[in-house]
């Protein structure tokens, strides 16, 4: 089966000043790949030196059979940052009728559909896209759901009406605007002003054994992770999508700049009742890797990984999850981008030994090469790193 299929852009819908949805249908007439709420698509987009791969979370209901929907923020390159190559191409160049090469849904940040527990969906900015897919699935169940979304204001708030349409006696939604406009206030578009704090969560969440999902900018996720921990939510009940150097959100520094807490909003704002019929590329990091195949007479607990170019040899620790994480925790700085077997940025030469891929790469490396972000050793290995 080919890794990529050609999809037509069947619709392009502006959701806010900076966020647009793209509806994609397969040109081959075959069925969509099934996906789990929270997963993403990989798109092949044109770059200055050839095609590049970009990933975007699916925001539609998994039960949808006609098309996929990705909801994309245009990364405009503010304050000297580079423009988002994929997002600007989608926003500025792609139109209905165009074709895009798409790979099957991937990602382990997914809704646990086997659990009966209440669910807390916490999103910031465009991080709401996988949460909306989760919410659509949860609307088909009997589980209680609390959907909390934080963003700057109504101009950048996407998919608001879609979320509100799902509100019921067991699905509750709250919107928190950091800097609402006068128009936002007049239209009563939000429930609280400022940032989500512990008091706000206590006010709007009944005590319970939640399963929490967090997606948004890293500072937002770090702050929400810390708050949930302080409120007694068990660590193994918190899932998040986090990209970057291997680390846990609990080790991230939470910004201390003074901000107005949502719980400190004026009484007029806090008493809004218009919606009070009330509600990263990997899931929680550091979870033990599954046991892998090893050479006869050798166990993973005694396997050695030699990073020859760096002159370091370390014992394999399954708790590290991947060879990339092992290298990072040994003080090395290997290249990476996606951490999910997509971009090939972490590819290096495998001098000796064998590896096991716990997540199949989108495109397998050549013999003698290995993607260290999604692999672990079968036994002792030597890498040119």
- For 336-356, how does the pLDDT look when each residue is reduced to its tens digit (9 = 90+)? 877 788 878 899 999 999 999
On the question of pLDDT at 300 being above 60, the answer is: no
Averaged confidence pLDDT in the chain: 84
Which residue blocks in the chain are alpha helix, DSSP H? 85-92, 128-138, 160-164, 182-186, 198-204, 218-230, 267-270, 323-329
Query: Which pLDDT value is given to residue 262?
Result: 74
Q: How far apart are CA 225 and CA 205, in angstroms?
A: 15
CB 27 within 8 A of CB 202: no
Query: Is CATH 3.40.50.920 the classification given to domain 4-106?
Result: no
Look at the pTM and tell me if it is higher than 0.85: no
Q: Dihedral (C-alpha) 236, 237, 241, 246: value to the nearest 10 degrees? A: -20
Query: Which pLDDT value is given to residue 282?
Result: 29
CB 248 within 8 A of CB 221: no
3-state secondary structure of 86: helix
User: pLDDT of 111-144, one tens digit each?
Assistant: 999 999 999 999 999 999 999 999 999 999 999 9
User: pLDDT of 43-60, one tens digit each?
Assistant: 999 988 888 889 999 999
Domain residue spans in the chain? 4-106, 119-270, 300-383
User: pLDDT of 144-181, one tens digit each?
Assistant: 999 999 999 999 999 999 999 999 999 999 999 999 99
Model confidence at 251, pLDDT cuts 50, 70, 90, reads: low
CB 159 within 8 A of CB 59: yes
Query: Is CATH 3.50.30.10 the classification given to domain 300-383?
Result: no
Query: Which pLDDT value is given to residue 65?
Result: 96
Nearest to 206 by CA among 118, 287, 271, 304: 118
| Farthest CA pair distance, the chain | 72
Nearest to 84 by CA among 40, 107, 54: 54
CATH code, 119-270: 3.40.50.80
């Amino acid at each position: 089966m080919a890794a990529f299929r050609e999809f037509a852009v069947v619709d392009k819908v502006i959701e806010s000043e900076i966020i647009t949805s793209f509806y994609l249908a397969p040109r081959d007439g075959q069925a969509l790949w099934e996906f789990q709420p929270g997963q993403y698509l990989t798109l092949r987009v044109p770059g200055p030196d050839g095609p590049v791969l970009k990933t975007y979370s699916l925001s539609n209901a998994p039960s949808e059979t006609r098309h996929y929907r990705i909801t994309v923020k245009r990364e405009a390159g503010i304050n000297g940052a580079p423009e988002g190559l994929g997002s600007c191409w989608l926003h500025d160049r792609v139109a209905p009728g165009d074709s895009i090469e798409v790979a099957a849904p991937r990602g382990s940040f997914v809704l646990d559909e086997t659990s009966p527990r209440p669910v807390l969906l916490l999103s910031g900015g465009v991080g709401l896209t996988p949460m909306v897919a989760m919410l659509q699935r949860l609307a088909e169940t009997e589980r209680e759901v609390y959907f909390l979304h934080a963003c700057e204001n109504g101009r950048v708030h996407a998919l608001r009406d879609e979320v509100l349409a799902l509100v019921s006696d067991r699905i509750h939604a709250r919107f928190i605007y950091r800097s609402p406009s006068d128009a936002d206030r007049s239209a009563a578009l939000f429930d609280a002003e400022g940032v989500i704090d512990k008091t706000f969560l206590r006010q709007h969440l009944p005590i319970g054994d939640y399963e929490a999902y967090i997606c948004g900018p890293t500072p937002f996720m770090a702050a929400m992770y810390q708050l949930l921990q302080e409120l007694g939510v068990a660590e193994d009940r918190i899932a998040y999508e986090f990209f970057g150097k291997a680390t846990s959100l609990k080790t991230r520094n939470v910004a201390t700049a003074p901000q107005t807490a949502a719980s400190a909003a004026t009484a007029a704002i806090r008493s809004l009742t218009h919606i009070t019929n009330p509600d990263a590329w990997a899931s929680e990091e550091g979870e033990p890797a599954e046991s892998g195949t090893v050479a006869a007479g050798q166990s993973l607990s005694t396997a050695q990984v030699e990073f020859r170019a760096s002159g370091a040899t370390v014992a394999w620790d399954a708790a590290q999850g991947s060879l990339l994480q092992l290298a990072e925790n040994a003080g090395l700085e290997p290249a990476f981008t996606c951490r999910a077997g997509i971009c090939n940025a972490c590819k290096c030469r495998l001098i000796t030994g064998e590896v096991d891929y716990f997540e199949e790469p989108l495109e397998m490396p050549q013999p003698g090469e290995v993607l260290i972000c999604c692999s672990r050793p079968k036994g002792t290995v030597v890498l040119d790193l």
